[in-house]
Amino acid sequence: MVINVTKPFLPEIADYSELLSRIWSTGWLTNNGPMVLELEERLRSFLGVKNLSFVSNGTIALQIAIRSLRLSGEIITTPFSYVATTSTIVWEHCRPVMVDIDPQTFNIDPRNIEGAITPKTSAILATHVYGNPCDVVEIERIAAKHGIKVIYDAAHAFGVRYLEDSIFNFGDVSCVSFHATKLFHTIEGGAVIARDAEVDHLVSRMRNFGHASPTSFDEIGINGKNSEFHAAMGLINLPQVSEIIAKRHKISERYRGHLKQILRHQEIDSECEYNYAYYPVIFESEEDLLRGMARLKERDVHPRRYFYPSLSNLPYLDSAFDTPVCADLAPRALCLPLYPSLDLADVDMICEILQSALDK
């Protein structure tokens, strides 16, 4: 049996088919149909946010966020994230400025941000890495002091709470992914969550070509809408989220019981209600990581190197950035298989393989 780093959660097919029959009865397939509107309202309630726009994916969410905040010039960001965090900045004709990460939390280190701010800086785009909240209090203090915006790439952070509030209520805009590999998914999808109602209204127009009405356009826009079929999957999956997180928690604790003495782990903020989106471990060396991966592959187990390589040296950046903590961490970070249906016996087997690989 193949064990991949993740396995999409699928609901009962009969439940999904029931919602598909509703789509057939209405004939409404896309363009902000009734299921899209219902999903948006349910997500606002579930997450405890005032504004949320369902879009086609998490990358489009980031692009729209940058546009909706009228950003230009330089955007300070992290080298330890998925490439979309950086590529969207470049795509929107801004310049990414990389600052280094905290070696314990793996998030952007606020101590490095202020020194990177210049007259051209318009925003900070920080990632809640593996769902672990950034130091949002300090980041927002810095942003307020310098009059710049804050976007959070919250692709991994669905359901996370921090300081007894939704993590999506921090920053000017948060962007989340509902890709099939995420703990809550709509097959493909994402959302833009704006703190300000006017920005939210702008987002809703931008995702729909800039339409102000059927016959007028007051903004440049993009086709960032999502369909009734994707919304239907979200409506079925949303009630399962609490159980999904509980199962991921149980599996993560099983891993930790085996591995806490032999591999380093991410430090999760004590004020965080975590979602167990990933199970990252840090090896002592890249050589150890590659040996562990090779042993796992022999048993058809396929973890993944989230996030490698460091984004500081992407070929389309106009300059390289010196981020030594990330450069050291990225080659040694590995995410182990984690999904609700993963058998605890398989977790034990994975840990035994890693233990054997690390015994020198």
Spell 225-257 as b/e; 16+ CB within 10 A means b: bbbbbbbbbbbbbbeebeebbebbeebbebbee
Q: Which DSSP state fits 115?
A: G
Give the DSSP per-residue string, 296-340: HHHTTEE-B-TT-S-GGG-TTSSS----HHHHHHGGGEEEPP--T
Whole-number Å distance between alpha carbons of 235 and 192: 18
Q: Using the structure block, give the residue that is written with the tokens 């919250």.
A: 154
> What residues contact residue 113 under an 8 Å CB cut-off, 6+ apart?
76, 99, 124, 139, 142
Domain 241-358, CATH number (from 3.90.1150.10, 1.10.10.10, 3.10.440.10, 3.40.190.10): 3.90.1150.10
Bridge partners (DSSP) of residue 166 are 161
Whole-number Å distance between alpha carbons of 198 and 136: 22
Per-residue pLDDT of the chain (360 residues; tens, 9 = 90+): 899 999 999 999 999 999 999 999 999 999 999 999 999 999 999 999 999 999 999 999 999 999 999 999 999 999 999 999 999 999 999 999 999 999 999 999 999 999 999 999 999 999 999 999 999 999 999 999 999 999 999 999 999 999 999 999 999 999 999 999 999 999 999 999 999 999 999 999 999 998 888 888 888 999 999 999 999 999 999 999 999 999 999 999 999 999 999 999 999 999 999 999 999 999 999 999 999 999 999 999 999 999 999 999 899 998 889 999 999 999 999 999 999 999 999 999 999 999 999 986
Which residue ranges make up each domain of the chain? 13-99+106-239, 241-358
Domain 13-99+106-239, CATH number (from 3.20.20.80, 3.40.640.10, 3.30.160.270, 4.10.95.10): 3.40.640.10
Whole-number Å distance between alpha carbons of 48 and 51: 9
